[in-house]
Amino acid sequence: MERHVGAIMNNSKIKVLYIAGTGRSGSTIVHNILGQIDGFSAVGELRYIWERGFIKNALCGCGVSFQECEFWRAVVREAFGGMDHAYVHRMSGLTASFRIYHLPLTLISHVRQRLASRLSEYLDSLEKLYRAIQTTTGSRVIVDSSKFPQYGYAVRMIPVIELYVVHLTRDSRAVAYSRSRKRLLEPDPKNPEYMEQENPIRASLRWNARNLTSEMHLRQTPVRYMMLRYEDFIDEPEASVKRILSLVDETAVDLPFVTEHAVEITKTNHSVFGNVVRFQTGTVELKLDKEWKMKMRRPHKIAVLALTWPLLLKYGYLMKFHNQNRE
């Protein structure tokens, strides 16, 4: 594994680019593209490293299991001394214990202090993990696509981390339709695993909750936060990536775009978890999936619209311009 010359001091800041929002919003392809940029290390949905990596030994984005992946073996050795990290189940439990409905309570000072105390061991392990990724790769920016606003909030609590947030949104109707379909998660021909399916009502409530809490609790520092509609990203992917680079105060001489709407994925992907798209390599065409407009049942469309229209309006999805260009 490449180790860049020039020591990264243990007291230096760790720059983390966090993709927030809800599932099925295109975060994986955004993550993959950012991972192609020199100095960026894209590690997928790091929130799941305890359960999917240490406990279940699921596939890394490079195609081998987590515990056999040279990248993660080096990172875990640097962070914890080896794969037999004694507190894995405790860390997994603490990850699950911090729920999205806890976030509003963090506005109360004494609750926020109690939370920091309860999560201190967890935050210490996360700091070691992010530091190890930075140290073993020489990365300037770590891309984490975990999306959960509560996890992003926890990462922000770590003093040495500079958290930059890309709040990625997508039309709630497209998300609800995607979440209702059976989609492959792990491409194992013997034991295929599929994503969780949801009905439109639950998907709509999740969409509202994730987007609202991402804005409320991850937008504390405006200069380190940007909202990006997935539809706009697909329309102008290179311009969108340059906006993200500006957010994190980074520049890139070479971006992976081979045409206006195609990228070349060549850099090995070590995402610990995410959509099956994380396994894609070679030339990837960037195009908007409009299947929901034709195949989503009308009652489902109406239900999702009724539940999510305030945020759809706020994010520009119900404006005349978007009706003409997206529908």
Q: Is the pLDDT of residue 187 over 90?
A: no
Res 275: pLDDT: 85
Task: Give the least confident one: 7-21, 29-43, 230-244.
Answer: 7-21
Asked if residue 134 belongs to a domain, the reply is yes
Phi, psi angle pair for 41, to nearest 5°: -120, 110
Asked if residue 3 belongs to a domain, the reply is no
Kindly give the residue spans of alpha helices, DSSP state H, lying in 98-236. 109-118, 120-137, 149-156, 172-180, 200-218, 230-235
Instruction: Give the range of the structural domain holding residue 146, as residue numbers without chain letter.
Output: 14-326
Domain count of the fold of the chain: 1
Asked if residue 2 belongs to a domain, the reply is no
Res 325: pLDDT: 46
DSSP of 144-171, one letter per residue? EEEE-HHHHHHHHTSTTEEEEEEEEE--
- The arithmetic mean of pLDDT across residues 100-104, rounded, is 94
Does 138 or 196 have the greater pLDDT score?
A: 138
Q: Residues 175, 208: contact at Cβ < 8 Å?
A: no
- Per DSSP, what are the bridge partners of residue 52? none
Q: Residues 167, 214: contact at Cβ < 8 Å?
A: yes
Considering the entire predicted model, what is its pTM? 0.92
Res 189: pLDDT: 62
Tell me the average pLDDT of the chain. Answer: 91
- Residues 6 or more apart from 37 whose CB is under 8 A from it? 241, 245, 250, 252, 255, 256
Does 260 or 8 have the greater pLDDT score?
A: 260
pLDDT band at 321 (very low <50, low <70, confident <90, very high): very low
Distance CA 74, CA 269 (A): 15
Q: List the CATH number of the domain containing 219.
A: 3.40.50.300
Asked if residue 4 belongs to a domain, the reply is no
Q: Residues 304, 173: contact at Cβ < 8 Å?
A: yes
Asked if residue 7 belongs to a domain, the reply is no
Asked if residue 289 belongs to a domain, the reply is yes
Distance CA 143, CA 31 (A): 7
Q: Residues 33, 166: contact at Cβ < 8 Å?
A: no
Asked if residue 96 belongs to a domain, the reply is yes
What does the block give as tokens for 318? 């119900």
Asked if residue 6 belongs to a domain, the reply is no
